[in-house]
Amino acid sequence: MATYQIITDATCDLSKAIIEQYPIHIIDMLYTLDGEGFSYNPSTPEGIEQFYEGLKQGKVAQSSQISAFVYEETFKSFLNQGIDILYLGFSSALSGTYHCD
């Protein structure tokens, strides 16, 4: 059993096959289409399909960064069990989320 947990967020865009093969915890990212809120995680590809279908229909999309609180709570859930974490995230040149984690 691993003594650490790999964590990333939905910007990773890993394939569902990789997510199923390796024990990677992915933090969902939130977005809205015409004001209606949705959650995206690459392990559920229908979420991204819904997003792009909404864009094709002319819906207004907005995404948001994952908050520092969500990162903290996610990390704590593993650390409180005695499991170390390895977080892999995008650089600040690719995502504003860098400033939250």
Residue 74's CATH number: 3.40.50.10170
Q: pLDDT tens across 48-75, in order?
A: 788 889 999 999 999 888 888 999 999 9
Alpha carbons 54 and 43: distance in angstroms, whole number: 19
pLDDT of residue 12: 83
Rounded Cα distance, 35 and 42, in Å = 22
Structural domains in the chain (count): 1
Q: Specify the pLDDT at position 74.
A: 96
Distance, in Å, from the CA atom of 38 to the CA atom of 41, rounded to the nearest integer, reads 10
Q: Which domain holds residue 61?
A: 4-99
The predicted-structure confidence for 12-42, as pLDDT tens digits, reads as follows 878 888 888 988 999 998 889 999 988 888 8
